[in-house]
Amino acid sequence: MAFAFQPGVSPAIESRRIAAEAVEAALAYLSTQTVDEAAVHEVRKHMKKLRGLLRLLRRPLGSAYAEGNVLCRDVARCLSGVRDADVMLETLAWIQLSGQPVDLSLLQQCEGYLQRHRESLRAHSGDMRSRILEARHGLQAMAGQVADWSLPEQGLELVKNGLQHIYRQARDYYRLSLEQPSDEHIHDWRKRVKYHWYHCRLLEPLAPDYLGGRAGSLKSLSDIIGREHDLTVLRNFLSSGQEKIAGKLRMLEIHEALVALQNRQREQGWRLGGELFEQPAGDWTKTCLQACASD
């Protein structure tokens, strides 16, 4: 079933179903004879969605929240290495399509450096089986925890605190990133935007007219500032290896191009963020839950 609460069903029941299905799906990807990079990517996506659900239920879950969050985080970390290298290569390819002027031969040198880095990770991933096994153990532990979740039958009150808390954080980090732009502040904002997007996806079937368009806009915003983060990661990685690529002076061109693209993504994100996080957290949450209850 979908990653969403179904109308007419208790949010407590739906929360347990959604969590159990996410864990089951992730386990299925790691239970095949050959676990490829696409499967690893899918597992990591399921962990992000599950962490979003956990944040929605943070108060009613009590201590189970922290335990579940650590399990999901550690499962994703077990599988991070080669995927992160792939994202840097994808980001470099995106730069070539972005219209930002960069010398093609310099991009090719950067691409070669990233490919060698990825192959090195693969060559030294002899412990990949052990990491997959570790991830499976983490998922099995998470499945057991979800089965033990004790959630009160409170209707939509169950999600009110988590919904409002993440919205408030996303709004606050939006303002902070605008007033004090930095890689760290943008990254913090990006994470809360993604969690808020997951929350709107979960509630969308209960208020499709109110949340349908918002969920789509949040997906766009998440993509925009997610790309900004990818550019940050690529910039830092290339800077650390600039002498091995083309020398400090020549690498200044790629650095300036990456900064220009980051600024472009930030400006786009701030414009959209200003529209999405205009209301105070309490007002938005009240309106949202009223729409969920009335549709």
**pLDDT tens for each residue of 107-162:** 888 999 899 888 887 776 657 778 888 999 999 999 999 999 999 988 999 999 99
**What does the alpha-carbon distance between residue 21 and residue 26 come to, in Å, rounded to a whole number?**
8
Nearest C-alpha neighbor of 58 from the set 195, 200, 204, 207: 195
At 237, the amino acid letter reads: F
Taking alpha carbons only, the member of 194, 193, 211 closest to residue 156 is 211
For the chain, the distance separating the N- and C-terminal CA atoms, rounded to the nearest angstrom, is: 21
Collect all residues with Cβ–Cβ distance below 8 Å to 234 and sequence separation of at least 6.
Answer: 88, 91, 92, 258
User: For the residues 56-60, what does the mean pLDDT come to?
Assistant: 96
Write out pLDDT tens, residues 227-269: 999 999 999 998 887 778 877 777 888 899 999 999 999 999 9
Higher pLDDT among residues 99 and 7, named by residue? 7
Exposed/middle/buried for residue 130 (C-beta within 10 Å: 0-12, 13-18, 19+): exposed
pTM here is: 0.93
The domains found in the chain, sorted by start residue, are: 11-294 (1.40.20.10)
Length of the chain: 295
Rg (CA), the chain: 21
User: Looking at this protein, which amino acid is placed at residue 157?
Assistant: E
